[in-house]
Amino acid sequence: MDLKSNHTSPILTDPTPSKSRLQVPSHLLQYSGVTFTPNLLLTVPTMNAGIIDIRANNCLHSMESSSPPHKKSRDINNDLASTDMDVAYRAWLLKYPSALASFEQITNFAKGKRITLFLDYDGTLSPIVDNPDCAFMSNDMRAAVKNVAKCFPTAIISGRSRDKVFEFVGLTELNYAGSHGMDIMGPVRQSSDDYHDCIRSTDKQGKEVNLFQPASEFLPMIDEVYNSLVNNIEEIQGAKVENNKFCVSVHYRNVDEKDWKTVAQRVHDVIRNYPRLRLTHGRKVLEVRPVINWDKGKAVTFLLESLGFSNYDDVLPIYVGDDQTDEDAFKVLREGNRGYGILVSSVPKESNAFFSLRDPQEVMEFLKSLVVWTKKTSTL
């Protein structure tokens, strides 16, 4: 099968190319074909099948918009900007209250339900670091995740490859979904259903599991694009290309800002030959992904069904994440008040989440609080 040819795969309608912020510079309002709604949520028109026209300039604007200006020195202007940001953050908390401050509200809603936890990895359980290969989680965080997984079904859903995120987390008590949910290893599903790509397998401990890889046909194409991006991008100082199995990440965190345009142009030049791939943006990372109707939100639904929670009346899913790709999961939970999305962010930005946490440290406090609450309620 020629994967470069036109296809019949459904097109995602939510490929938001950047993190929108409350303080959106006016020049970013001039995206071609992209509009900002009054609440500054970035929306992109539905694309025609087979056409992914992300121009290099738009790509560059998105890179700039997802990267707040560097704080070069501590001076009066920076102090004032910092104060402004604190005020903006406090105002933002009125819309996205802290999950720690709202803990009682969350647990009240959880009464009589089974909490199910979904956790992003980078920026949620681990700090964002310069070298993506060194995004290690702390031992304290690992212990917190291990303890919470003893209380509730817990899954990690990451943009990394499943093997890589397992390497970082190293806990066998969890379910793992890599490649933005396109590579799920989860419990054996009891019911026969429509997930044709779902196969029986065994995990590293020999336990029987289900393996679901809805983008498996894209593997050769992803490998080809990865090699092409390595050849074209990695000569730019600081740029790093990561093969996440069903998607490819181009990290530009360590690239001098003057070279971002070159990164954007070269990525664009490579993927223009692959109409079945699309480009999305994360935190200082461009991500090349298959155009399939699958995302982290669908991965949450799939895992809930696998865990036997098709009926949302008896389960409270909680999803904690910091990335644009996590918005798909927040949206699924927000629709019909199925559960709670918790956005990890230290800056104000629009989200489909209900609550917020400032950083991974607060995520750890939240996980610990859930364990304490569970132990307390189980002894009542």
Residues forming contacts to Mg ion in the complex (CB under 5 A) are 120, 122-123, 322-323
The label of the residue with tokens 């690239």 reads 255
Is the CB of 123 or the CB of 178 nearer to Mg ion? 123
* Burial environment of residue 72 by CB neighbours within 10 A (0 to 12, 13 to 18, 19 or more): exposed
**Of 183 and 228, CB closest to Mg ion:** 183
Shortest spacing between CB 30 and Mg ion, in angstroms = 28
248-251/277-282 β-pairing: unpaired
What's the min distance (Å) between Cβ of 120 and Mg ion? 4
* Type of residue at 371: V
Please say whether the beta carbons of 61 and 28 come within 8 A: yes
* In the complex, least distance from residue 77 CB atom to Mg ion, rounded to whole angstroms: 31
| 210/109 Cα distance (integer angstroms) | 31
Which is closer to Mg ion, CB of 124 or CB of 306? 124
Sequential DSSP letters for 328-368: HHHHHHHGGG--EEEEE-SS----S-SEEESSHHHHHHHHH
Phi (first) and psi of residue 54, to 5 degrees: -100, 105
- Which residue, 228 or 324, is less far from Mg ion as judged by CB? 324
Pairing type for strands 340-344 and 240-243 reads unpaired
Pair 40, 24: CB distance under 8 Å: yes
Q: Least separation, in Å, of the C-beta of 177 and Mg ion?
A: 13
Q: Which of 2, 86, 120, 133 is catalytic?
A: 120
Q: Is 130 a catalytic residue?
A: no
| Beta carbon nearer to Mg ion, 64 or 120 | 120
Q: In angstroms, give the least distance from the CB of 126 to Mg ion.
A: 9
List residues with catalytic annotation.
120
